[in-house]
Structure 1
Amino acid sequence: MKTTPTYSIIVPVYNGSAFLPKLVERINSSFASWQHNLMEIILVDDYSQDDSWTEIKKLKSQHPSLVHGIRLSRNFGQHNATCAGMLKASGDLIITIDDDLEVLPEDALKLIQEYEQKELDVVYGKFKKANRSLVKKFFKFFYEIISKIVGGNNKVNGSSFRLMNRSLAKKIAENATNFVFIDEAVFWHTNKIGFVTVEHQKSLRKKSHYGILDLFRLGGDVVMYSSLLPIKVVKALGFFISLFMFILGTFFIIKQLFFGVSIKGFTALIVTISFSTGIILLVLGIIGEYLGKIFRNTNNSPVYSIDEEI
């Protein structure tokens, strides 16, 4: 008879002090009712600016064998904080969930059942109808476009509510660079990915952490770190512009040599030079962006840094 696995619930926390007691209570009661052996709840405080760490300490004192708290030394981002929890997790299965109760902790059972029935590596909770703010809807739409660009038809259209086996979680966390996007990393390691429909609740957080500029910055980072698309676009653009300039130059030379037509058009020449210069600067900017990210990775910039652990 198959041994019931143990679970690690990882919660990246940022300014979530108001939600944590209710979240921990819901997770604890849910797993107790299923008679599963919940190994731990790992609360990773991503350098919150409220009393989240104080609240985590209180929860640790109330549930010493259940709650494990990690405080990062600065804000590293949700995915980096999740990786910190993955490396500390001791459960056979890892479940990640946000701190604002957008997802019902009770729906974790759906992930577990799908995982056990179909022998998958990863199961995502997918929302049939999301009760999101306009900013979050835009973020989801923006993420799907980026995922399509990076992953094509095989993209991972996931969410932060996911279950994965311990082996995969450790691989992702151990191989993470200073920028990590877990859902893209999942696709690099496995095709055994499943989805189940879960309920979506309105976030208890009044304001999203992501602004419009943050969304574009994140999307740019995902493309840069996960794809060579910008370089390929620049390469194609450079080729066609070079071909056009070669044909245009050949045309004017032939006119001058064989037809004796004087070459006029100082304005056209200036416009052409300016356009070409702009393209060159664009190409250099994109190449510079790639080099900067390569430098950050080879410079051993930390994925995260733990300030305190309880």
Structure 2
Amino acid sequence: MSAALPGAGAAVLRPAPVLGIVVPCYNEEEVLPELARRLDEILDGLIAEGRIAPSSHVTFVDDGSRDRTWALIASFHAQSPRWRGVKLSRNRGHQNALMAGLSSAGGDAVISVDADLQDDPAAIGRMVDAYREGAEIVFGVRSARRTDTAFKRLTAQGYYRFLAALGVEIVHDHADYRLLSRRALDALHRYRESNLFLRALIPQLGFKTAVVTYERSSRFAGESKYPLRRMLSLAFEGVTSFSTRPLRLIMVLGSVVSVISVLLGIWALLAELVFHVTVPGWASTVVPIYFICGLQTFCLGVVGEYVGKIYLEAKQRPRFLIEEELAPAEERRAG
């Protein structure tokens, strides 16, 4: 159910919006036909009920796919102007592909959803209702993770708690299934950083929000485009893009190690001068050296990650380049 908005019962509903749906795709030829069928049914139903305008549409973003993804998108567009496409010049990653779609899609409100059908498309109608009641941003939140492995559930829950501990504002169990009003989209486009982590960036916009819950399903077909390596990369991106606490923790950790080193030095002096006891062997010398060297290397790596982000931001390279776009000429936008 959608979260109740303050005063929503007495408020006048917004007019039925022109709804844009953005779907980032990477090698999704096995899923696209079924996804298009379901989205077609949902849009037809919402239009018939007068909840969205007839000119509502879907924009697929091909993020450098190597299969027939773009050919399928082109065939959908040839059948109906409802289906639009954006082909990036090369693979730029999920977050940049999503941003390309949000920059290209028209409409009064835009919903982003992944292509794998794990995020229930039936929640689109409830998101639209929350928007018409006054919400500028509607978060799709997973009510259950029954299809996830125990490892994935455990790491996901731990990651959300870890981000919260670092002071990163993020909606628990929310990925990239959300509705943004045109007002929220215009505000989002003012953020120009290259290191995108939209799950934490969107809550910073403010505005009135609502939540729609849904059950996460199994992937309809194909393989996950987020293996462990990419999940870890996205997780690290979220930490280093929105929190400087790791740098402060390094300072604290360095101070603790320094105190321990001083205490060990005092103990060594007392053992020699007072108790006349010496500890033979190399462990007391080699182990602290290896420990401190490893700690220094780790800390330099964290600092280097932040310096690297400064380097990438300073170059101000475009986040994506559009190779081809299938949309009405008056709505095409530069990448």
TM-score by length of 1: 0.86
Question: Which whole-Å CA distance do the structure 2 matches of 1:249 and 1:209 have between them?
Answer: 52
Alignment-mate amino acid for residue 304 of structure 1: F
Shift in Å, 1:255: 7.0
Shift of residue 170, structure 1, vs aligned partner: 3.4
Stretch moving more, 8-17 or 277-286: 277-286
Equivalent residue in structure 2 for 1:18, among 12, 30, 36? 30
Shift of 1:60: 1.0
Would the alpha carbon gap of residues 149 and 235 (structure 1) be closer, same or farther in structure 2, given more than 3 Å must change? same
Q: Which residue of 2 aligns with 1:106?
A: 122
SS at match of 1:68: strand
Change (3 A) 1:138 1:123: farther
Give the 3 Å change call, closer, same or farther, for CA 253–130 of structure 1 in structure 2: closer
Q: Given the superposition, is the C-alpha separation of residues 141 and 48 from structure 1 closer, same or farther in structure 2, using an over 3 Å criterion?
A: farther
Which stretch of structure 1 is more off in the superposition, 77-86 or 168-177? Answer: 168-177
1:281–1:18 Cα change, 3 Å: closer
Contact 2:23/2:98 (8 A) holds in 1: yes
1:199 positional shift? 4.2
**1:48 equivalent in structure 2:** 65
Higher percent of residues as helix: 1
Q: Say whether 1:87 aligns with 2:99.
A: no
CA distance in 2, matches of 1:100, 1:275: 44
Aligned partners of 1:288, 1:245: CA distance in 2, in Å?
25
CA contact (8 A) 1:142 1:219 kept: no
Aligned to 2:245: 229
How many residue pairs end up in the alignment? 305
Gaps of 5+ in 1: none
Cα–Cα, structure 1 residues 138 and 86, in superposed 2: closer, same or farther, change >3 Å? Answer: farther
Matched-pair contact (CA < 8 Å) for 1:177–1:302: no
Unaligned runs of 5+ in 2: 1-11, 327-335
The change in CA–CA distance for 1:261 and 1:18 in structure 2 (over 3 A counts) is closer
**C-alpha displacement of 1:188:** 1.8
Greater alpha carbon shift after TM alignment, 173-182 vs 233-242: 173-182
- Secondary structure of the residue that 1:204 maps to in structure 2? coil
| Matched residue, 1:60 | 77
Q: Equivalent of 1:28, from 40, 44, 59?
A: 40
2:210 to 180, 184, 194: 194
Q: Which residue of 2 aligns with 1:206?
A: 222
Matches of 1:265 and 1:294, distance apart in 2: 48
C-alpha distance in 1 between matches for 2:301 and 2:217:
42
Whether the 8 Å contact between 2:130 and 2:138 is mirrored in structure 1 is yes
1:1-310 alignment runs, 5 A limit: 2-35=14-47, 36-37=52-53, 38-64=55-81, 66-117=82-133, 119-130=134-145, 132-134=147-149, 138-139=151-152, 141-152=154-165, 155-157=170-172, 158-190=174-206, 192-252=208-268, 259=274, 267=282, 268-310=284-326
CA RMSD of aligned residues (A): 2.7
Query: Structure 1 residues 7, 255: closer, same or farther in 2, change over 3 A?
Result: same
1:131 & 1:273 partners in 2: Cα distance?
Answer: 46
Identity %: 25
